[in-house]
Amino acid sequence: MGKGAISKMQSAIKEMAGAINYHLFHNRVRPDINVLYALHHQLAKTARVAKRMKIAPEALEAGRRLREQGFCVLKSTLADSEVNRIAAKADTLLTSSHLNVTPATALSPLSFVRNSLHLCPEIEAFLEDRLIEVLPGFFGSEAQLIRTELYRLYSATTEPGDSWLWHFDNAPAQIVKAMVYLTDTWEHTGAFRLIPRRKSRELQRRGFWDRNQFGALAAELNDSRNSIVVEGKAGTIVLFSGHYCIHKATVPRRDFRDVVVFTFQPSFKFLRDQLQTARTTGDVTWAYHRNPFTGKPMKSSD
């Protein structure tokens, strides 16, 4: 057998393995990572049950909505003055010349802060506010914070690619995000958009995955009757699964939108006890997930 034939066979096997993985896990993440996450999650749930730790009814209800719909919206219990204080600190940081701040450009209307939990510890108040209590209602276990993003989205006349296109997150099912608005956010100021879980899965079964290839599904993806524009005042918390819900960022038509996004995975340890480590270890990059057992970054795909 020649080298060309061997190469074609290897490509065919890899493509078939990718298709099987996608069918089983609904993502393009390496199968061993998907299995590792599922195993860790089950063990973490078992550990919490063994400790006989109860989950508050409100948290159970939020978890039910998140599982069924793929998202739920929570209202912060922080005082408006406290939310404004946190937003003011974020504003100072986002408009500074700090080395960890990437400014917006003509090509990307996004300004963001790296290691934002370390540079803006005030945002931890949103974790203490609702998320530490609510996340066990979804996971059935404790939660670990693996990534924090603080960013500002400026108005623009055209929308760039990537996050501004309809997409699923290429992540295991156990990953969930919490987006917190730091400014009053409405449709004209770039409110977050998503398609609920049931419709998202229908579109996926019919062939949608690649954000750059809508094909015959473009009309349904862009039909406003299929999506939800999540509007809300500063302090609104949008808890959602990018694995289950097609979603997109939207460029404001005017003004700007400030947001902090927390990314979580299941854990054996209390979230509150992990915050000091989260401040100092930094965030995993887009191409990596964090090993739920060891905490070490793992490359998502070959």
The answer to whether residue 36 sits within a structural domain is no
- With tokens 């009309």, the residue in question is 219
> Cβ-count burial of 263 within 10 angstroms (0-12 exposed, 13-18 middle, 19+ buried)?
buried
Q: How far apart are CA 300 and CA 32, in angstroms?
A: 10
> What are the tokens at 142?
């404790």
In sequence order, the β-bridge partners of residue 297 are: 290
**For the chain, where are the alpha helices, taking DSSP H only?**
3-25, 31-50, 57-69, 80-94, 116-119, 124-126, 132-139, 197-205, 218-221, 271-281
| CB 165 within 8 Å of CB 248 | yes
d(CA 207, CA 217): 8
265 found inside a domain? yes
Q: Is 184 a member of any domain?
A: yes
Instruction: Look at residue 29 and tell me if it is in a domain.
Output: no
Q: Establish if 17 belongs to a structural domain.
A: no
For residue 162, the domain's CATH number is 2.60.120.620
| Spans of the chain below 70 pLDDT | 1-19, 157-163, 281-287, 301-302
- pLDDT at residue 13, as a whole number: 47
pLDDT value, residue 212? 73
In a domain, 79, yes or no: yes
Residue 162 lies in a domain: yes
> Dihedral of CA 38/41/42/43: which sign?
positive
Q: Alpha-carbon Rg of the chain, whole angstroms? A: 20
Q: In this predicted structure, what is the pLDDT of residue 280?
A: 74
- Residue 248 is encoded by which pair of tokens? 């997109």
What values do phi and psi take at 17, rounded to 5? -65, -40
Q: Does residue 301 lie in a domain region?
A: no
- Helices 132-139 & 31-50, crossing angle to 10 degrees? 110
The confidence score (pLDDT) of residue 235 equals: 96
- Domains: count for the chain: 1
Which amino acid is residue 176, in one-letter code?
V
Residue-range definition of the domain harbouring residue 280: 56-286
| Alpha carbons 64 and 50: distance in angstroms, whole number | 22
Task: Indicate if the alpha-carbon torsion angle 283, 173, 126, 272 is positive or negative.
Answer: negative
**pLDDT on residue 162:** 62
